[in-house]
Amino acid sequence: MNVHSVDDEGFRRRAGALLRSAANDLKRNTAASAEELGVTEEQIQEYFSGRHEIPGSVHSKAAAVWPLNERDLLPVRNDCPEGVIVLDVAASKSSSRVFQREDIDYYEYRDTAMSRLASFRPEWIRMLSVVDDDDPNNPNVHWNKGHLLYQFTYFVGPVNYYYRWNGESHVLRMETGDSIWGLPFSPHTFTARNDSEPAYILALTYGGELMGDAQHELAALGPSTARKFAWDENPWTTQIRLLRSHIDAAMLSVAEVAQRSKVTQDRITELVEGAAIPSYSEIESLAAALRVSVRDLLPVSPDSPGGISLVRAVDSRRWLYPSAQQADYSVRQLAGNKLHPYTRALEIQPLRDSDAAAISTHQHQYLYNVGETPMTMRWEYLGKRYEARLAPGDSAYVMPFIPTSFTVDSAPAAQASAARLLALRIAGRIGVEARVALGSMHPGSLERLLNEDRQWY
């Protein structure tokens, strides 16, 4: 397993800031915090400042006497001091594990690049079970039970993909460059159609909005409450539920909504009962009446009938970037879903041997060289420039907003068309609301959000 060194000093400092923030939130000063946590004032100052590591016993005590959780006091570890982590193919190979299912060798797993900063759990997986048909009941097909993580899968070679949705089993014959995006907990499995050519996948699993805080909160609230939060994927019913939940939350009568929005009572009743779909101008009026943004009344519309979305290499979209005139990269769109607007899977072909445009995105990024030739990756972080070689089978993790560029050794040539980079970009925890909130705080307070360094008064 590739475990990268973490920034221990930064971890201590952030842990101290979290403890200080918690004490601030609970209106405890240094003396009160020390007394309630059973330590001296000198000790609590050492913890707050990050000069001393906070013992686990202090976190346990805080969770016992204060209304918070141990995990609220534990910061994230930063294992990416240069902005990018590269894992070469040799290190990936050395992590190889072969797993059996029902007594036959089924998969060979290899780790690829990952970081504690993002929820990617990407694996290179070779199919060891070979089938000679497309029957989901073939004795060489052994299913998993599904998993919490979302899965984006990129296929190389003659791989059969099997998935089950609502009790029905399906088989898809995949070819190199095909891709699939799948919903959590859908059972699935993979086999090879022959053993004479490479048959493997890049299984790029990642945690979405359900993993982490949402999962912990739902688990503590219990299944009957969790069920009340669950909305199906029908955009129309989602919109009705959105409208109703905002009206309920504000404790508004139909008459009050009508008076505020100038939409008639009869029409509002029709809308909340699902007898009609609101027009855009009605949504604007209702949003103003409810004092929410228009986007808060617009439905989310997933597009994965049957739990997956599939993009075949042969009919996927391809374009030049940044433009046809300045063709530094050829980009191909891979599988995705409207449920995850911030997840983007792309196949990128660098076309230049120098001076390629730097690419930057707000997302966490995972890269894997799926091509046959090496490429050079250049990036800039905190004022320093870096360069790394990405050979076939090498992979990388890139932090958000890092300008990166990719070039091949000689272009335009046959080499360029053989250079292919798989990129999966995912959102972290900083969604649209968080971005707006971050920019709307009192000027100059951003550093205090990240590292509270003072008592509030």
- CA separation for the pair 223, 226 (Å, rounded): 5
The DSSP line for 307-362 is GEEEE-GGG--EEEEE-SSSEEEEEEE----TT-TT-EEEEEEE--SS-PPPB--S
179 with 144: CB under 8 angstroms?
A: no
- In the complex with Fe ion, the residue whose CB is nearer, 114 or 402, is 114
- In the complex with Fe ion, the residue whose CB is nearer, 159 or 408, is 159
Minimal distance, residue 142 CB to Fe ion, in Å: 13
- In the complex with Fe ion, the residue whose CB is nearer, 118 or 201, is 201
Q: Contacts with Fe ion: how many residues (CB under 5 A)? A: 1
Minimal distance, residue 151 CB to Fe ion, in Å: 5
> Structure tokens of 402?
């890092």
Question: By beta-carbon distance, which residue lies closest to Fe ion?
Answer: 151
- Binding map of Fe ion across residues 246-265, x = CB under 5 A, - = no contact: --------------------
Contacting Fe ion within 151-190 (CB under 5 A): 151
**What DSSP state is assigned to residue 296?**
G
- In the complex with Fe ion, the residue whose CB is nearer, 172 or 320, is 172
Q: Which of 443, 193, 204, 231 is nearest to 347 (CA)?
A: 204
Strands (E), 183-302: 188-192, 200-206
- CA separation for the pair 423, 361 (Å, rounded): 12
- In the complex with Fe ion, the residue whose CB is nearer, 155 or 321, is 155
- In the complex with Fe ion, the residue whose CB is nearer, 151 or 404, is 151
Q: What angle do CA 67, 432, 262 make, to 5 degrees?
A: 100
Query: Which residues 6+ apart lie within 8 Å of 333 measured at CB?
Result: 311, 316, 317, 318, 345, 346
- In the complex with Fe ion, the residue whose CB is nearer, 19 or 202, is 202
Minimal distance, residue 198 CB to Fe ion, in Å: 19
Minimal distance, residue 144 CB to Fe ion, in Å: 6
Minimal distance, residue 211 CB to Fe ion, in Å: 14
- CA separation for the pair 123, 234 (Å, rounded): 33
Contacting Fe ion within 202-221 (CB under 5 A): none
Minimal distance, residue 105 CB to Fe ion, in Å: 18
Minimal distance, residue 134 CB to Fe ion, in Å: 20
Q: Residue 230 burial by CB count (10 A; 0-12/13-18/19+): exposed, middle or buried?
A: exposed
- In the complex with Fe ion, the residue whose CB is nearer, 160 or 415, is 160
388 with 417: CB under 8 angstroms?
A: no
Minimal distance, residue 203 CB to Fe ion, in Å: 5
- Binding map of Fe ion across residues 134-153, x = CB under 5 A, - = no contact: -----------------x--
**What strands, in cross-sheet order, belong to the sheet with 168-174?**
168-174, 159-165, 188-192
Residues at the interface with Fe ion (CB under 5 A): 151
